[in-house]
Structures are given as C-alpha cells and as structure tokens.
Structure 1
C-alpha cells in the first residue's frame, strides 16, 4: 500500500534513514537504504547509489512512503470491533 502524501527528496532521505521503503510512481521503482547506500529496485533492474549520488540523480522525483498492508491492519482493533458488534447484537 502506498501513502498518498508526496515527499520531497529531503523528506524521502529522512524516511530512508529511518528504515522506511519508498516508491516512485514516475519511474516505477522502490528505494531502500542499506549500509549507507540507496538500493533502487525497478521492474527489470537493481542499482545501488551513494547517498550524494542518489540525491543528485533523484532530486526532482516525487516519492511516496510504502506501507506494508499487513502493518496497516490492526488485529487488536479488529478484535475490539468484532467483540463490540457481538455484544451489541442482542
């Protein structure tokens, strides 16, 4: 799942440093920081750039935060909801 908020290169870099995965819809790629290098995963390619190179090459691109669909579902909230529904049926 992709967050809808568009990120600048500086915001993107901060999220990468926090361990997040970013995507770009413009060039259909995902980005992850690994050992101080930005790994770029495209449909038919993989590349790794130093942070300075990444900023220079992708400074005009729009980024979006990737959120794992599994993480966005709260099992605890689901349990609360369904127990509330069951208790209010009768």
Structure 2
C-alpha cells in the first residue's frame, strides 16, 4: 500500500505473509524513467518512507518475500506523487547553552 504522499515523499507498507520461514523482503522502487533501487530488508520491517522524489511523477514499488527455497512473485503498487510546491525547510537559530 502506498500512502501519506507529499510532492517529494511517499510511504510503502505491506502485511507479513503467513509462512513462518520468512527470511526477509526484496523491495524495489522505480520512478522517473524506470530507474530505481532494490534493497533487502529483514523480516520484521513492514514499512519504508521514500524521500527526495520528484513532484508529479509516477512511482512503482514492488515487494517480494524471501524464503529459504526462493523468492515470491512481486506484489506491486503504482501511484503518482502530487504536483505542488515543495515545502521549504524550517530554519531554526542555533541553540546555545
């Protein structure tokens, strides 16, 4: 599931499969031009946040479960980041003791 989208961020989450011998997940994210990244995550992780995305671009995230005997078929979701202004960072003065 892809949620909590801003022009430059989105969150991906998924439910754990019922199998007990889960070793982890392969998570692939692809954005503009199909370029993306793939990371291996431990079995207890079910949520990631992607940052520094381009506003108004299509994003696809695929999750595959890793088992001792192989990898599952990918489960994919696609969305588009909202168009809009990227919020400016809040600048705080240094805190002096």
TM-score (norm 1): 0.28
TM-score (norm 2): 0.27
Which structure's CA Rg is the greater one? 1
Instruction: Considering fraction of residues, name the structure with more strand.
Output: 2
Instruction: Considering fraction of residues, name the structure with more helix.
Output: 1
